[in-house]
């Protein structure tokens, strides 16, 4: 099932991919958790398969899985568009996977967050019987998840942040976290964060970011951390999504 979605603030079209539990009853009383998958080209199918495999054994609840995707976009287009949507500041960046995006086109995370908060989530809640909500992201989309966590933690009940790109803009998220801590605000959220053991280059300060966050003892923050052996930044995606969902949502 799909729903086309357009943004009024930018000339950009999206589509919501939706997978419902086999027993979903739109007229019934039962509600289901929502797993909202960003970078849907890589995360949605994995999460759908994981839920279909593990819900019958009650290792996961019967969930509504939704992927936020760019409509009719090529692979190259997606690489560019995700950078525009998920980055927090408009700065030049390395040509990731061979595609360079001018810095002035980047930094759209807050506008994208507002669209998700004011249009996408209300749209889904008006059409489906949703209980709690989970943010699912990897790499740049997990960087976006960190932005949401600091800007509006109550937007989601749970956050699955696999290998977040916290190297972005000279590790600006480390400074954002310091600012939040200095403000004295709580950080009420349930967060699973992870990395692959083989993520060891300058684009992989995940452990340091987790350690800084964990050392704060924020009121209301339930933080999980996992390093997956023998996994790279890309190969870690399936295991991080499966394990992270079970940590956040295990029913046994």
> Which CATH number characterizes residue 101's domain?
3.40.50.1820
Split into its structural domains, the chain has a count of: 1
pLDDT (average), residues 138-163: 98
Exposed / middle / buried, residue 76 (Cβ in 10 Å: 0-12, 13-18, 19+): exposed
Contact partners, residue 200, CB within 8 Å, separation at least 6? none
Report pLDDT for 96: 62
pLDDT (average), residues 113-132: 97
Q: What is the mean pLDDT of the chain?
A: 93
Q: How far apart are CA 64 and CA 67, in angstroms?
A: 10
Q: How far apart are CA 113 and CA 156, in angstroms?
A: 12
Q: Does residue 65 have a pLDDT over 60?
A: yes
pLDDT (average), residues 71-85: 89
Report pLDDT for 99: 63
Structural domain boundaries, residue 106 = 2-249
Report pLDDT for 252: 43
Interhelix angle for 75-86 vs 140-151, to 10°?
20
C-beta separation of 159 from 141 below 8 A: no
Report pLDDT for 202: 80
Contact partners, residue 124, CB within 8 Å, separation at least 6? 16, 34, 36, 64, 66, 130
Q: Does residue 2 have a pLDDT over 60?
A: yes
Q: How far apart are CA 151 and CA 113, in angstroms?
A: 9
Residue range 86-121, pLDDT digits in tens: 999 998 776 665 567 777 789 999 999 999 999 999
pLDDT (average), residues 202-214: 93
pLDDT (average), residues 233-244: 97
Exposure b/e, 147-156, CB count within 10 A at least 16 = b: bbbbbebebb
Q: Which residue has the tokens 């390395």?
A: 94
pLDDT (average), residues 183-212: 93
Q: What is the pTM of this model?
A: 0.95
Residue 34: which pLDDT band, with cuts at 50, 70 and 90? very high
């Amino acid at each position: 099932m799909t729903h086309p979605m357009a943004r009024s603030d930018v000339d950009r079209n999206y589509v919501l991919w939706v997978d419902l539990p086999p027993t979903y009853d739109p007229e019934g009383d039962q509600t289901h958790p929502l797993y909202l998958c960003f970078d849907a080209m890589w995360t949605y199918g994995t999460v759908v398969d994981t839920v279909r495999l593990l819900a019958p054994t009650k290792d996961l609840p019967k969930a509504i899985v939704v992927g936020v995707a760019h409509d009719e976009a090529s692979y190259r287009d997606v690489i560019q568009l995700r950078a525009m949507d998920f980055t927090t500041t408009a700065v030049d960046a390395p040509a990731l996977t061979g595609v360079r995006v001018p810095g002035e086109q980047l930094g759209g995370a807050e506008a994208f967050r507002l669209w998700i908060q004011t249009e996408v989530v209300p749209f889904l809640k008006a059409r489906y019987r949703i209980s709690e909500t989970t943010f699912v992201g990897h790499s740049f989309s997990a960087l976006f998840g960190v932005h949401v966590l600091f800007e509006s933690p109550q937007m989601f009940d749970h956050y699955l942040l696999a290998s977040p790109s916290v190297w972005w803009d000279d590790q600006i998220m480390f400074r954002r976290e310091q600012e939040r801590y200095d403000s004295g605000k709580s950080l009420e959220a349930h967060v699973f964060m992870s990395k692959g053991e083989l993520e060891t280059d300058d684009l992989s300060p995940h452990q340091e970011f987790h350690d800084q966050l964990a050392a704060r003892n924020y009121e209301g923050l339930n933080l999980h951390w996992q390093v997956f052996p023998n996994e790279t930044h890309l190969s870690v995606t399936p295991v991080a999504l499966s394990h992270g969902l079970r940590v956040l949502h295990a029913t046994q």
